[in-house]
Amino acid sequence: MFTDMSIEKRNLEVLNAAASMFDQCQTKKTAPNTPHGQLFTCGKYDKLKRPINDSVLENPKARALFAQKLGCNACEFAKPQQAEDEKSLLNRSLHPRIFEVGSELYLGEYYSQAVFESYKAVKEQMRGITGFETTTEAVGKGGLYFLGAASPSFDLMYQQGAKFTLMAIDSFRNEAGHSMLDIPKNTTGKQFAFSRLVLASVGMGFLDNSEIRA
């Protein structure tokens, strides 16, 4: 078994076999991915972890050969539990629709695309409820009303708060849609993207708890 072999015997042939399995896994995914962190997050992990386990990836030469096979000069291989924890965090933190459209892109470090798709999902939800794509029209012409104020005396402020939150998403979506949003693939970019996915989730929450009033 591969797990019984010494690191010295886990040679390029073994690494190539694992990389080939990884390539097959990649072709089955609908969202674009990079090698970064995807080794242990794709659905074929159970097969991958036998020829390539953590002890191999901790070996610098083995990592270099595997990275070369994948065509990646600076691959970062996530631990299985770390990858699962991150996906679980997204699942707990995001609105289900935002998780659906943005999580795989986010995990693949396609931060700009993840944010844009999340904003677009909010727009589509708005259009489905009111027939309008912008908050100003949805509220002014479509009669969109947000439920959930703590008390009638705070309703006006609540309406304003929900409206301006969704208007902010409108503005950010326009920026992202014109290819002006270029989120870097580093820790700062990751945190920025996460905050925008959460913002989109807040917007979806307002739309989920709304109704049309004449």
CA 90 – CA 84 distance, rounded (Å): 10
Write down the pTM of the prediction: 0.62
Per-residue pLDDT, 174: 82
Per-residue pLDDT, 62: 60
CA-wise closest residue to 119 among 188, 12, 201, 48:
201
Mean pLDDT by 10 residues, the chain (214 residues): 43 57 50 39 39 52 59 50 78 96 94 94 97 96 96 96 96 76 88 96 98 90
Per-residue pLDDT, 203: 98
Domain boundaries along the sequence of the chain: 2-78, 81-212
Positive/negative CA dihedral, 3, 4, 10, 14:
negative
